[in-house]
Structure 1
Amino acid sequence: MSNFDFDLFVIGAGSGGVRASRVAASHGARVAVAEEHRVGGTCVIRGCVPKKLLVYGAHFAEDLKDARHFGWDVPDCKFDWDRLRDNVLAEVTRLEGLYGQTLDNHQVTLFKTRATIVGPQKVRLADGQEISAERILIATGGWPFVPEFPGSEHAITSNEVFHLDTLPKRVVIAGGGYIANEFAGIFNEFGSKVTIVNRGDTILRGYDEQIRDRLLQISMTKGIEFRFNAPFESIEKKEDGSLTVHLGNCDPIDADIVLVAAGRVPNTKGLGLEDVGLELDKEGAIKVGETNQSSVPSIYAVGDVTNRIQLTPVAIREGQAFADSVFGGKPTVVDYANVPSAVFSHPPIGAVGMTEAEARNKLGTVRVYTSDFRAMKNVLAGRNERALYKMIVNEATDQVVGLHMIGPDAPEILQAAAVAVKAGLTKADFDATVALHPSMAEELVLLK
Structure 2
Amino acid sequence: MSETEYDYDLFTIGIGSGGTRASRVAAAHGARVAAAEEHRVGGTCVIRGCVPKKMLVYGAQFAEDLEDCQAFGWTIEGKKFDWKTLRDNVFRDVSRIEGVYTETLEKHDVTLFHERAEITGDHEITLASGKVVTAKYILIATGATPHVPDFEGSEHVITSNEAFHLDEVPGCILITGGGYIANEFAGIFNEFGSKVVIANRSDVILRGYDFSLRDRLMQISMTKGIEFLFHAEIEKVTKKEDGTYSVKMTGLEERSFDKVMVATGRKPNTEGLGLENVGVKMGDKGEIKVDEFSKSSVDYIYAVGDVTDRVQLTPVAIREGQAFADSIFGDVEPYSVDHTCVPSAVFSHPPIASVGLNEREAKEQYGQVKTYTSDFRPMKNVVAGRNERSLIKMICDGANGQILGIHMIGPYAPEIMQAAAVAVKAKMNKADFDATVAIHPTVAEELVLMR
TM range (shorter): over 0.9
1:355 counterpart letter in structure 2: N
1:135 counterpart letter in structure 2: Y
> Where in structure 2 are the equivalents of 1:42-191 lying within 5 Å?
42-191=44-193
Map of 2:416 onto structure 1:
413
2:161 counterpart SS class: coil
Contact 1:39 1:96 in 2 (8 A): yes
Quick one: percent identity of the two aligned structures? 65
Counterpart pick for 2:367 among 364, 367, 385: 364
> Where in structure 2 are the equivalents of 1:294-309 lying within 5 Å?
294-309=296-311
Map of 2:336 onto structure 1:
333
TM-score normalised by L of structure 1: 0.99
2:9 counterpart SS class: strand
Contact 1:354 1:401 in 2 (8 A): yes
Provide structure 2 residue ranges, at least 5 long, that are not aligned to the other structure: none
2:135 counterpart SS class: strand
> Where in structure 2 are the equivalents of 1:187-266 lying within 5 Å?
187-266=189-268
1:245, 1:362 → 2: CA distance?
43
Counterpart pick for 1:312 among 311, 314, 319: 314
1:160 counterpart SS class: helix
Shift of 1:332: 1.8
Map of 2:403 onto structure 1:
400
* 2:423 paired with 1:447: no
2:5 counterpart SS class: coil
2:246 counterpart SS class: strand
Map of 2:430 onto structure 1:
427
Map of 2:388 onto structure 1:
385
Contact 1:375 1:386 in 2 (8 A): yes
Q: Deviations over 1:329-372 (max 9, x none)?
A: 32121011110000000000000000000000110000000000
2:317 counterpart SS class: helix
Counterpart pick for 2:23 among 21, 24, 28: 21
Map of 1:287 onto structure 2:
289
2:367 counterpart letter in structure 1: G
2:362 counterpart SS class: helix
Shift of 1:253: 2.1
Contact 1:120 1:299 in 2 (8 A): no
* 2:347 paired with 1:344: yes
Map of 2:32 onto structure 1:
30
1:17 counterpart SS class: helix
1:403, 1:209 → 2: CA distance?
13
1:240, 1:386 → 2: CA distance?
41
Contact 1:374 1:384 in 2 (8 A): yes
2:363 counterpart SS class: helix
Map of 1:374 onto structure 2:
377
2:4 counterpart SS class: coil
2:380 counterpart letter in structure 1: K
1:33 counterpart letter in structure 2: A
Map of 2:273 onto structure 1:
271
Q: Deviations over 1:400-444 (max 9, x none)?
A: 000000000100000000000000000000000001100000000
2:122, 2:410 → 1: CA distance?
49
Shift of 1:76: 4.5
2:220, 2:329 → 1: CA distance?
49
Shift of 1:252: 2.0
2:109 counterpart SS class: coil
1:239, 1:195 → 2: CA distance?
22
1:374, 1:246 → 2: CA distance?
40
1:321 counterpart letter in structure 2: A
* 2:355 paired with 1:355: no
2:446 counterpart SS class: helix
1:360 counterpart SS class: helix
2:164 counterpart SS class: helix
1:39, 1:87 → 2: CA distance?
19
TM-score normalised by L of structure 2: 0.99
Shift of 1:120: 3.0
Shift of 1:73: 1.0
2:212, 2:122 → 1: CA distance?
48
2:395, 2:124 → 1: CA distance?
50
Question: Structure 1 stretch 312-321 or stretch 117-126: which is displaced more?
Answer: 117-126
Q: Deviations over 1:195-214 (max 9, x none)?
A: 00111111000000010000
Q: Deviations over 1:16-56 (max 9, x none)?
A: 00000000000000000000000000000000000000000
1:363, 1:249 → 2: CA distance?
41
2:255, 2:273 → 1: CA distance?
39
2:368, 2:326 → 1: CA distance?
40
1:361, 1:61 → 2: CA distance?
42
| RMSD of aligned residue pairs (Cα, Å) | 0.7
Q: Deviations over 1:174-219 (max 9, x none)?
A: 1000000000000000000000011111100000001000000000
Contact 1:199 1:229 in 2 (8 A): yes
Shift of 1:113: 0.1
Q: Deviations over 1:215-238 (max 9, x none)?
A: 000000000001000111000100
2:41 counterpart SS class: coil
